[in-house]
Amino acid sequence: MSGHGVLRGVGVGRGVAVGPVVRVEPAPRVAPDAPVLRDGAPVAPDQVPDAVSEAFASVAAALTAQAERATGTVADVLSATAQMADDPALRQQVLDRVRGGEPPIAAVDAAVDGFAVLFEQAGGYLAERVTDLRSVRDRVVARLAGLPAPGVPELVEPTVVVARDLAPADTAALDLTRVLALLTEEGGPTGHTAIIAGQNGVPCVVRLPGITELAEGTVVGVDAATGSVVIEPDDDARAALAAKADRERALAEDTAPGATADGHPVQLLANIGTVEDAERLTGSAAEGVGLFRTEVLFLGRAQAPTVDEQTAAYTRVFRALGNRKVVVRTLDAGADKPLAFANPAPEENPALGVRGYRLVRTVPELLHDQLTALARAGRESGAEPWVMAPMVATSAEARAFAAAAHGAGLGVTGVMVEVPAAALRARAVLGEVDFVSLGTNDLAQYTMATDRLRGELTDLLDPWQPAVLELVAATARAGQDASRPVGVCGESAADPLMALVLAGLGVTSLSMSPGALPAVRFALRRHTQAECRALAGLALAAADAVSGRSAVRAAVHPEVGDLG
Catalytic, 4? Answer no
Dist CA 292 CA 423 (whole Å): 22
Of the residues 192, 204, 527, 532, which is catalytic? 192
Catalytic, 192? Answer yes
Kind and range of the H or E element at 18?
strand 16-23
Do 87 and 129 contact (CB within 8 A), yes or no?
A: no
Do 146 and 95 contact (CB within 8 A), yes or no?
A: no
Cite the DSSP H helix spans in 70-181. 72-85, 88-99, 104-122, 124-128, 130-144, 168-172
User: Residue 107, Cβ neighbours under 10 Å: how many?
Assistant: 23
Do 304 and 298 contact (CB within 8 A), yes or no?
A: yes
Non-local (6+) Cβ contacts of 182 within 8 A are: 160, 161, 163, 166, 171, 193, 197, 202, 203, 204, 205
SS3 content of the chain, % helix, strand, coil (to 5): 50, 15, 35
Of the residues 204, 489, 527, 532, which is catalytic? 489
DSSP state of 150: P
DSSP state of 378: H
DSSP state of 420: H
Do 30 and 82 contact (CB within 8 A), yes or no?
A: no
CA-atom Rg of the chain in angstroms: 25
DSSP state of 337: B
Catalytic residue IDs: 192, 489
